[in-house]
């Protein structure tokens, strides 16, 4: 997309308030990995959750809480975002972000490995947002389908993985994990999905009744 159009769309449809801007600035100042979602992607996730009337959302990969604020703000007061983060430093920053945004009562942050914690969760989530490590994405795909309700949203960041998905020379576990997830999302009959070319690509899928 033309850079001017991207800026126009973000400034008009996804302006950051002071809290979101502060979270992003702190993220950069602390030298955290530059992998958090963009404001326009956050707004798209927010709209999608509103569209399905989400009240229970699962996020894998909290980082410093930027995406979680976008997600939690889409929920009603009685809604709940459950987010899993393995890095204790990131978890502490995310909790701070949720408190600053006033959404802490709606967020349950679980620290630890996603593959260890996923079996402990009750099913029937309205949406699952995957933004964690990439190599286990095929396993996260299966767990997402177990935990989603029929008609629930399967959302996955970094569908293009910075171009690696079309680079045959990149055979890293992360690149292969993203490719495998994309193939599953595109071909598994339990999901109807599309890839949205926003930022680094977002897979948007709907779990189909079995």
> Please, what are the domains in the chain?
3-207 (3.40.50.150)
Judged by DSSP in three states, 142 sits in: helix
Q: How far apart are CA 198 and CA 203, in angstroms?
A: 10
Predicted pLDDT at 195:
98
Residues in the chain where the model's pLDDT stays below 50 = none
Flag whether the pTM goes above 0.85.
yes
Query: Are the C-beta atoms of 21 and 10 separated by less than 8 Å?
Result: no
Largest Cα–Cα separation, the chain: 47
How many other C-beta atoms can be found within 10 angstroms of the C-beta atom of residue 5?
A: 9
**Per-residue pLDDT tens for 133-190?**
999 999 999 999 999 999 999 999 999 999 999 999 999 999 999 999 999 999 999 9
User: 51, exposed or middle or buried, with CB in 10 Å at 0-12, 13-18, 19+?
Assistant: exposed
How many other C-beta atoms can be found within 10 angstroms of the C-beta atom of residue 75?
A: 23
Predicted pLDDT at 209:
80
Predicted pLDDT at 1:
64
Judged by DSSP in three states, 76 sits in: coil
């Amino acid at each position: 997309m033309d850079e001017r159009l991207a800026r126009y769309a973000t400034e008009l449809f996804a302006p950051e308030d002071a809290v979101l801007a502060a979270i992003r600035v702190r993220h950069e100042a602390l030298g955290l990995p530059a992998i958090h979602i963009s404001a326009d992607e956050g707004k798209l996730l927010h709209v999608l959750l509103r569209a399905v009337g989400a009240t229970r959302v699962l996020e894998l990969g909290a980082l410093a809480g930027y995406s979680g604020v976008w997600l939690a703000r889409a929920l009603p007061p009685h809604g709940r975002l459950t987010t899993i983060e393995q890095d204790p430093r990131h978890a502490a920053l995310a909790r701070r972000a949720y408190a600053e945004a006033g959404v802490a009562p709606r967020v349950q942050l679980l620290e630890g490995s996603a593959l260890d914690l996923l079996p402990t969760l009750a099913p029937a989530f309205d949406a699952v947002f995957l933004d964690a490590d990439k190599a286990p994405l095929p396993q996260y795909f299966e767990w997402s389908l177990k935990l989603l309700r029929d008609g629930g949203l399967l959302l996955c960041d970094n569908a293009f993985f910075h171009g690696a998905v079309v680079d045959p020379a990149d055979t890293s576990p992360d690149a292969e994990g993203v490719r495998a997830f994309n193939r599953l999302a595109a071909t598994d009959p339990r999901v109807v999905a599309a890839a949205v070319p926003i930022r680094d690509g977002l897979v948007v899928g709907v779990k189909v009744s079995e």
